[in-house]
Structure 1
Amino acid sequence: MLQDEPQKLWIPERDKFLKEFIRLEGRGEATLYQACQGLPGCLNEPVVRCRDCEGSQLYCQGCIVIQHTVMPLHHMEIWTGLYFQCISLHDLSHCIQLGHPPGLQCCNPSLAFDDDFVVLEINSIHRVALNFCNCATAQTHNIQLLHACWYPATTTNPWTAAMFQLLDHFQMYTFESKGSAFEYYQLLARLTDNTGTRQPKGRYESFLHMSRQHPGHGHDPNGVLGTKEGELAVLCPACPQPGRNLPADWDNVPLHMKWLYGLFLAIDANFRFLSNGWAYFMEQSSFKEVLEASGTQVQEKSSCASHNAVNLADTKNARGMAATGVGAIVCAWHNLTHPSLVSNLQKGEKYVNMDYIFFSTLQHASTVDVLNISYDIACQWSKHLWTQMLHYPSRMHLQPDDKVLTFVVPKFHLPAHILSCQTKYSLNLIKGMARTDGKAVECGWSNINPIATSTWEMGPGSRQDILDDHFGDLNWCKVCNLGPFLLWKLKEAIPEREQHILDLQDFEEAIPPASLSEWRIMIVKWETDFTMQASVRLELSQLEGQQLTDGVDSSLHPEVSPSVLIAAGIDLESLQQRLAIDMANIGTHATDNQLSLLQQQMNALHRCIEQWVQIQTLYMPCSPDTPNMPEEAVHCIKLWLPSAVVNLGIACDVNLCQIKWKLRCAQAHDGLQELPHTRSQAIIDTVQLKIDTWFALESLAINLSKLTWQIEFPKLDDADIWGMTKGQAGGEVEMEGQRLVLVSWIWKQHHGAGEEELLEVMHIEWCKARACANRWAEEVVLLQEEMRRVVAYFDWHAMWWDKRLDYHSIYLLASLPLVTTE
């Protein structure tokens, strides 16, 4: 229909539109009357019109000034006899009076500085005549401007201001377009005069100051200085926040439901951002102290995939740059940036930066029991995390009975890791992960990256304010869309859950009952009793916490407990082994750069061992003296852990020996968890040869009048022919896409006895199918819980705002003048 093609309808009307545009360039209907149609009885010639008011009515100069008493920033045009010429209300003797209601004049006015006041408005830059009130009860000049919704550029003798509406418009403009302040100011200048013949007053520097000063934090009796760290951040209503959106008994739920109240966090770095902790950036002074204390600590090279951001952290060129990027922790589910968890990076993705951000997280998440950490280099970064913790203040340490930590790798990055990592850090296989993909932080970078170019040459304060502002806007937009987003995910999850559960049930019908029963016992045991170093360390920390509660404190150091000491010693032994391997591999023809990096690595390890030995003497005073360490190769230094001390016949604290035994057992289990995936696909390829039989069976059925055979043997399509670990049409199944891949029906049929190899393959694929079905089931439960949390959080926030009313009343009372009576 033509109504659906507006361009075609408009084409015949072009000349009519053009004539109207040209008519508006002249006086239009004003040629029909000779006198002004403004105030009653006015007989002056109408020669001035307002471009911003509706219509194109002409008035005399006196009437149009009176009409614009409350609209002092409109644009005027005056008729010269041949054409209209731009003119300002200032040129028409219009004067703005502050400190009094509109239309009333002050009996003692004070002229603005140098009678040259400039106002930045949403559609241009104006020069106005302005009088301040100078009565006995008058406010200061900057307060009078604020009462008029004009933001002063200076606090004394202001001669420039910006309308509040302009500052709000500029903020929204940068959020949507990622444009810079310079581009916006150029827009205002061109709207004022697009010919370049009447350049407006230059107020770019003033505009920069006002745009940075405008945001604020109110309704607090302590004022701006009462702002706490991270208080200006927009929080995620769906993340667990005890006391705000969790049930009263959330910490008493059964162990198998603890995951439901876990916090999902994603860590990543962004290197596009070259260059006091109230919002998203952390407080910088403490962070810089940690960086300086770390000195030239060398980054340990990755033993998994080639993570360039890690391996090249000590070699990237950062000359002349205050920062080479930013690192951040965000909500892995909803992609909201967490408060005070953004930090600058120097020379790549160094562990010291990311460690500090992570340990800061422990402070902000101190009331949450379960933490799931997604990081593309989690396999490397988490290795010696607890040894690194010793370098930080005690306020940043993991408390004894505090957390259950699970480290995972985002699904997109996992296929690039070695095989053992693909099992240990898989979001698809770990219980309690639901359908988390870990990509949230990288999606957030795509939204924030366009602002990077305008921050490269900013000072650190301006850069941080701009990024804080944009992080806040992204959080706000996601909070506003959280309801539809969670509903959309729930509508997707419910049918996926049902489909994968049905597929798993069909698959299990083809598995011998005895095998299936055995597999179920094995997988439940693996999920519930699998001993890893992280879980054992948590168990030991919880035991120490219980001892503290019972009044038994075995700690001899304010920051390092016995379990932390032994765990750090085991980590140091691993570092020594890694260093020995590096020294053996470097060869006799190493370059000076390789030798330098190796020496720096040795120095860093040496300092860690020295710190550890000092604390060890408190807990194990009878241990043999450590040799003069500067004279001994650092990888050969004997650490004298409890087992080594006992072997010498020296008595050692039984508690320390028990801790060492548990941690060593956990270390052994971690080394044995790689599964033999490599055989599976080879077996699948041999089974592929048997598929031709199905085509022959279909041909025979017609001649033999077999009518019910398809119940047992469904029709075989090309789309059904793929192996368990392959997608349709033979494509490889990506780790990220396993949620959409169903097991073909050919693998759900009963197979004859004796096919042990096929049964082995089915065991592996059953584990995967079960994990997939469980993740979708968890997804539905978690989404329903998050919907409840969002409502609970908004109810809590409404009550929080009600309390702000009381604070504001106190603030107003405190600001009133003291009145005394005789």
Structure 2
Amino acid sequence: MTVRECFGMEMHCKDCLLEYHHHLPLHIMEMWNSSFFEQVSLKTLGLRIQLGHNLRDRYLNPRPSSGDDFVVIDVNGIHEVALDFCECPTAQIRYKQLLQAHWYPETTTNPCTTATFGVLEHYHLLSFESKVSAYEFYHSLAWCSNNTGLIPIRDRYAPFMCMIHEWRHLRQLRRAGRGHDPSGINATQKGELAVLCPACPQPGRNLPEGWENAGPDSRWCYALFIAMDANFQLKRKAVSSDQVDPGLNAGWAYFVEERQYKSHLNDCMIQRQEHSSCVSHNAINMADTKSLHGLAATGVGTCLNDVGDLQKGERYINMDYLVLSTLASSSVPVLNTMPTHLHLPHENLDIHYFVPKFHIGAHIKECQIAFSWNFGKFVGRTDGEAPEQGWANINQVASSTKEMGPGTQRDTLDNYFGDWNWKKITVLGRTLKHKMVDAVKWKSKHCRALDKLKATIHPCLVVQWKGEFETWEEDNTKPNPFQTITLAAVCLQLADLEASKLQVGINHSLHCNISPSILISTGLDLEEQQQCLRCDTANLSLHPTDKQKETLTHHTNTLQRKIDTWARVQELYMPIVPTLCSSATNPAAQDALKPQDFPLYLPSALDNALECDQQLCEYEWEMHYAQALDALNEVRSHLHLRSHMYKFKEKNLRGQAASTRAQALIAHVEARKDASVSKYRRACAALIALNRKLEKVGWEFTIRPLQNEDIRPMGDFAGGHSQGTGMLSWIWVAHRADNSCTENDRVQDCVHIEWCKARACASCWSEEVKLLLEEMRRAWQCRATLHQLMKRQEQEGLAAYTFCQAGLHADMRLSFQGMWNDVPILVASTLDAVDDTISKGNDETDEAPSLHAPPSTHNC
């Protein structure tokens, strides 16, 4: 006979094999049956396993069998063994005898199935890495035992599920130091089994004494960043219940305590979901209409380390509970508007709100400016998207956890969340080092770019803008320096002005549905549509298809009808227009004009000598002024995009097909840029014409004639000049005067917003360097505590495990510090690149740091 698991392939007799495998009772034998090697178990050969006694003593003092049909689940398969428990008066209870042999029993009363510690550990790690389900893993073990179906294998899948569930829970308790606490496992506090990030601020563990009394320029480094998000992949079917399948963690890990959570939801169930006023967010606005057919949970929501089931989309009552539960457990003061166990004093409440960078694109422009991480103060380069990174890992188990009961699903997900957090901790040294290298590099680049941009601006304007910027940073209710004037905003202002006049009885409208401002704004829209139709006609191929002809004809007819309708209303406000039309061309020629060539005769197109209502001229001025600024912003955006696409093409694309597609995209961007240039030039010409009558001043510093040589990217210097000798195109540094009819008459710079963005970038990267230094300092400052137990053997075991964990963390800390050896020199090399407008007031943190700590000592 031979053994597949043993080293070598020597042949042995039956007695020798039994003698060799007293300590290896789960090996699989192969016996020669005169024709081939046939698989046979050690139980069949007569091996009996004795617990609680020395094996030699078992043969000298044979005892009656007590477990002939005992099933053991091992990494090599599912085995039936002959097992004898110790029945001596001083013997341990049976399940403890199994645990001492490193076999985990299915139950504590008369167990007949067990799994080896090895197979439980193997599946535990395998589930984290490959996301294999317990069902697939168990049945793969069954096929390892026999894949022919000729030998029946007892189904032990249900016991295996119970064992792996308990195993995961016990491992969490052990690693959190709860296994031998004198107060017992039931004294475990909320979130105590969660794996916390050592770089995050934890009062009493890794923050310096007196941190709460630090000045505002350094206290921000101790702020807690929390992010909230929902995942609708992690659904759970309506199977089982909390009474039948209760969770073991009971709010000790990541999922909040279920009874308190559900009690709060039931109390607030009658409240109707408030719709979002910012964006059409289906997860919020349609929360009350979500279908729950067959589902007990439509997903999960999270905030930092607190997770909870969602019943109807991303409802506010669910997410609010998770947020305040996180704040309550983080020693952060919160408002007393939630259940009693979440109440804390809020006299010193200081919370700033942001929208994560990946999500902010779906929000309206006002939110993108007011709640952007890119423009915030004392946030560094935080993106707020930490939960999204975890979802990518956990979504792979969504299909298997969907079928679980409520308690099993929560405990299983708790285990996966803990594994994800631990993996992040193990690579924290490399992660922080990589972030620091990037932060130092971009800090230098953005600070120098800000200095170069500042050199092109008058010093007085810089001082003024800096004051406005800092005022908005301290109080975001003040005027936002990133806000731009747009044509849509001007139209809204004029509509509001007309509405206010109507309320006091002043009505200048000559048409029941179309006011003077609507007439002018519609005329500008028609001008834009005429230009688009001209481009479509010019770009029509030499031999167009019938479909192309149909589309062009349809657009032509639609525009003609719009112009006819608008012209009839125009006659009410501008009676001179019919005279101009009849004197300019004969009626026959007028009817033959194509709609893209039809003269609209806006006030800017009339001669200075001809009479036109002053109010119409003012309205057109306001709209053309905003239109010119919009067009100039579009030109800058298209130039940025074109430059980026050229760089991407040169760096990443190879081959004719990819290059052709890239050229087509670049040509499309170029066409859009040309359209914006044309729009700007039309608006500029209209403003020049209107200025003869309105006599505006100061606007020409902003709305300047746009020449072809002016249309170039920010880093492109014309005339053979280099970066050291050339000047930026005026489109990047031009300033504008606000000559509207409002009370605001201060002069602003067109590059004001670009300067604010550049300063915000430089500030964020400078703060990121300081924040990373503080996170490196906080890492691995936690202390281990050894509980005093009554039994010496338990005390020795606990001390050994404590010192083992302390040694592991000490080794990791030394490893990280080795990676960070050159960080002080790296940071010191950028101190000369810091712009004085950024570093002023923070000089105490602009020193080269020291990350080397004295040798680690463990307070056990």
- TM > 0.5: yes
Q: Deviations over 1:492-529 (max 9, x none)?
A: 11010000000000000001111111111221222234
Report SS of the residue matched to 1:445: helix
Which residue of 2 is the match for residue 364 of structure 1?
A: 329
Which residue of 2 is the match for residue 145 of structure 1?
A: 98
Is the 1:683–1:758 Cα contact (8 Å) retained in structure 2? no
Is residue 632 of structure 2 the alignment partner of residue 683 of structure 1?
Answer: yes
Is residue 780 of structure 2 the alignment partner of residue 791 of structure 1?
Answer: yes
Change (3 A) 1:754 1:288: closer
Which residue of 2 is the match for residue 765 of structure 1?
A: 754
1:700-779 mapped onto 2 (5 Å cutoff): 711-713=724-726, 745-746=728-729, 760-779=749-768
Q: Deviations over 1:557-581 (max 9, x none)?
A: xxxxxxxxxxxxxxxxxxxxxxxxx
Give the CA deviation at 1:450.
1.1
Change (3 A) 1:747 1:137: farther
Report SS of the residue matched to 1:118: strand
Query: In the alignment, which of 455, 459, 462 is matched to residue 401 of structure 2?
Result: 455
Give the letter for the 1:682 counterpart. A
Change (3 A) 1:710 1:249: closer
How many Å separate the matches in 1 of 2:191 and 2:19? 49
Is the 2:370–2:476 Cα contact (8 Å) retained in structure 1? no
Change (3 A) 1:810 1:396: farther
Give the CA deviation at 1:222.
2.5
Which residue of 2 is the match for residue 34 of structure 1?
A: none
Is the 1:506–1:748 Cα contact (8 Å) retained in structure 2? no
Is residue 63 of structure 2 the alignment partner of residue 109 of structure 1?
Answer: yes
Identity %: 43
How many Å separate the matches in 1 of 2:722 and 2:232? 62
Q: Deviations over 1:752-805 (max 9, x none)?
A: 998999962211111111001000001111011101110323xx2xx33xx24x
Give the CA deviation at 1:423.
1.5
Give the CA deviation at 1:678.
8.6
Query: In the alignment, which of 292, 312, 323 is matched to residue 347 of structure 1?
Result: 312
Give the CA deviation at 1:224.
2.1
How many Å separate the matches in 2 of 1:486 and 1:355? 31
How many Å separate the matches in 1 of 2:717 and 2:443? 37
Change (3 A) 1:328 1:750: closer
How many Å separate the matches in 1 of 2:148 and 2:717? 83
Is the 1:221–1:811 Cα contact (8 Å) retained in structure 2? no
Gaps of 5+ in 2: 174-178, 237-249, 479-624, 636-679, 681-703, 740-745, 798-860
How many Å separate the matches in 2 of 1:394 and 1:699? 65
Report SS of the residue matched to 1:81: coil
Which residue of 1 is the match for residue 3 of structure 2?
A: 50
Change (3 A) 1:809 1:262: farther
1:305-704 mapped onto 2 (5 Å cutoff): 305-330=279-304, 338=305, 341-366=306-331, 368=332, 390=337, 392-530=338-476, 680-684=629-633, 685=635, 686=680, 689-690=706-707, 692=709
Change (3 A) 1:206 1:678: farther
Report SS of the residue matched to 1:269: strand
**Bigger CA drift: 143-152 or 208-217?**
208-217
Change (3 A) 1:416 1:751: closer
Report SS of the residue matched to 2:472: helix
Which residue of 2 is the match for residue 588 of structure 1?
A: none
Change (3 A) 1:808 1:210: farther
**Bigger CA drift: 685-694 or 178-187?**
685-694
Which residue of 2 is the match for residue 15 of structure 1?
A: none
What is the Cα-based RMSD across aligned positions, in Å? 3.0
Give the CA deviation at 1:198.
1.6
Is the 1:432–1:778 Cα contact (8 Å) retained in structure 2? yes
**Bigger CA drift: 84-93 or 268-277?**
268-277
Which residue of 1 is the match for residue 220 of structure 2?
A: 259
Report SS of the residue matched to 1:156: coil
Give the letter for the 2:183 counterpart. N
Change (3 A) 1:429 1:809: farther
- Matched residue pairs, number? 553
How many Å separate the matches in 2 of 1:412 and 1:682? 27
Give the letter for the 1:261 counterpart. Y
Which residue of 1 is the match for residue 144 of structure 2?
A: 191
How many Å separate the matches in 2 of 1:76 and 1:395? 60
Query: In the alignment, which of 197, 202, 208 is matched to residue 161 of structure 2?
Result: 208
Change (3 A) 1:678 1:403: farther
Give the CA deviation at 1:81.
1.4
Report SS of the residue matched to 1:288: helix
Change (3 A) 1:136 1:688: farther
Is the 2:195–2:421 Cα contact (8 Å) retained in structure 1? yes
Give the CA deviation at 1:108.
6.8
Is the 1:508–1:748 Cα contact (8 Å) retained in structure 2? no
How many Å separate the matches in 1 of 2:457 and 2:370? 26
Report SS of the residue matched to 2:296: coil
Give the CA deviation at 1:419.
1.6
TM-score (normalised: structure 1): 0.63
Q: Deviations over 1:691-750 (max 9, x none)?
A: 51699xx99979xxxxx8874227xxxxxxxxxxxxxxxxxxxxxxxxxxxxxx546997
Change (3 A) 1:256 1:61: same
1:281-320 mapped onto 2 (5 Å cutoff): 281-320=255-294
Query: In the alignment, which of 222, 225, 234 is matched to residue 273 of structure 1?
Result: 234
Change (3 A) 1:807 1:496: farther
Query: In the alignment, which of 89, 92, 98 is matched to residue 45 of structure 2?
Result: 92
Query: In the alignment, which of 230, 234, 237 is matched to residue 191 of structure 2?
Result: 230
Give the letter for the 1:317 counterpart. S
TM-score (normalised: structure 2): 0.61
Which residue of 2 is the match for residue 587 of structure 1?
A: none
Report SS of the residue matched to 1:130: strand
Change (3 A) 1:694 1:424: closer
Is the 1:494–1:780 Cα contact (8 Å) retained in structure 2? yes
Report SS of the residue matched to 1:405: coil
Which residue of 2 is the match for residue 26 of structure 1?
A: none
Give the letter for the 1:364 counterpart. S
Change (3 A) 1:747 1:479: farther
Give the CA deviation at 1:256.
2.9
Is residue 28 of structure 2 the alignment partner of residue 75 of structure 1?
Answer: yes
Report SS of the residue matched to 2:419: helix
Which residue of 2 is the match for residue 662 of structure 1?
A: none
Q: Deviations over 1:197-242 (max 9, x none)?
A: 2232211111111111123121212232222221111111111001
Change (3 A) 1:90 1:761: same
Return the index of the structure with the highest Cα Rg.
2
Give the letter for the 1:304 counterpart. C
Give the letter for the 1:712 counterpart. T
